[in-house]
Structure 1
Amino acid sequence: MTTRPQPLSPMKTGIRGLCPRCGQGRIFDGFLKLKPKCEVCGLDNGFADPATGTAFFVNSFTFILVAVVLCVWIEIALSPSLWVHVLLSLPILLMACVLPLRPLKGWLVNSQFFYKTRRGKIPSDSGAQDTATSGADKG
């Protein structure tokens, strides 16, 4: 009897940018571009569709927290001139937004493989009604 290997944790492999199936190959071809397939196990990365989720999460959480907490605190506590914000706050904001993009995208891609998520499909049955609009039309 052959034993199936345990699925790899998306957190461990994704953050390091490793293949979700074998854990050895790299999933990135550049900074954020995904490779078409794994060079070790041949996994086709066509299943992956993180779209703009990575940028949304980073901008929603990291950027807002850093902007509000750090930059506003610097302004209130120190009242520096504009050039201090340009030299201090701007690089911190850019690093806080750019550095987490790759690990987060890797985690999202590997989570899609781990949980076997696929794109949703709308059934082409002509007799099916759209439930979202059917109740609104009855007025």
Structure 2
Amino acid sequence: MPYTSDQAAFDADVPERPAWPAIRRGLHQRCPNCGRGHLFESYLKLRPACESCGEDLSHARADDGPAYLVILVTAKVLGTLMLWVYTTWQPGPYLLSAMFSVGAVAMALYLLPRFKGMIVGIQWAKRMHGF
């Protein structure tokens, strides 16, 4: 679809939203607009609107992006750590698997809402998905 003059006029009228503050607020699980309201109702369920500023958050769709990022970061960090632990102390396979299984689950559960908030902050700043 070609870029029309109507779209150029729309882009000139709409002020740009700063991305980095929105990303930082999302990582802290706060509203990307004001930074005061909570982003989630529960563990991963987004609020329909910010409780503080009223920003509509119902159109945000993070989908699988946060999960892919969590897998990438968790595998890199724990894989490197596992190699270092094994070469340094050479623990038994059951101990190694138990330690790193618990570590992987804990790290994934910690990172998932933060990465989802980051993706929502990026979408809000770039005016994607109805923001």
TM category, shorter? 0.7 to 0.9
- Matched-pair contact (CA < 8 Å) for 1:18–1:27: yes
| TM-score normalised per structure 1 | 0.70
Residue 112 of structure 2 corresponds to: 101
Q: Give the number of the structure with larger relative contact order, counting CA–CA contacts within 8 Å between residues 6 or more apart.
A: 2
Deviation at 1:74, TM superposition (A): 2.5
Question: Would you say 1:77 and 2:94 are equivalent positions?
Answer: no
Query: Helix, strand or coil for the counterpart of 1:85?
Result: helix
* CA distance in 2 between partners of 1:7 and 1:76 (Å): 45
Greater percentage in helix: 2
AA partner of residue 108 (structure 1): I
Q: CA RMSD in A?
A: 2.3
Aligned runs of 1:58-137 on 2, under 5 Å?
Answer: 58-60=70-72, 62-118=73-129
Gap regions ≥5 residues in structure 1? 120-139
* CA distance in 2 between partners of 1:98 and 1:104 (Å): 11
Residue 61 of structure 2 corresponds to: 49
Rg larger in structure: 1
Residue 40 of structure 1 corresponds to: 52
AA partner of residue 78 (structure 1): W
* CA distance in 2 between partners of 1:70 and 1:22 (Å): 37
Gap regions ≥5 residues in structure 2? 1-14
| TM-score normalised per structure 2 | 0.73
* CA distance in 2 between partners of 1:67 and 1:25 (Å): 33
* CA distance in 2 between partners of 1:89 and 1:40 (Å): 40
Deviation at 1:113, TM superposition (A): 0.7
State the 4+ residue runs in structure 1 displaced beyond 4 angstroms.
none
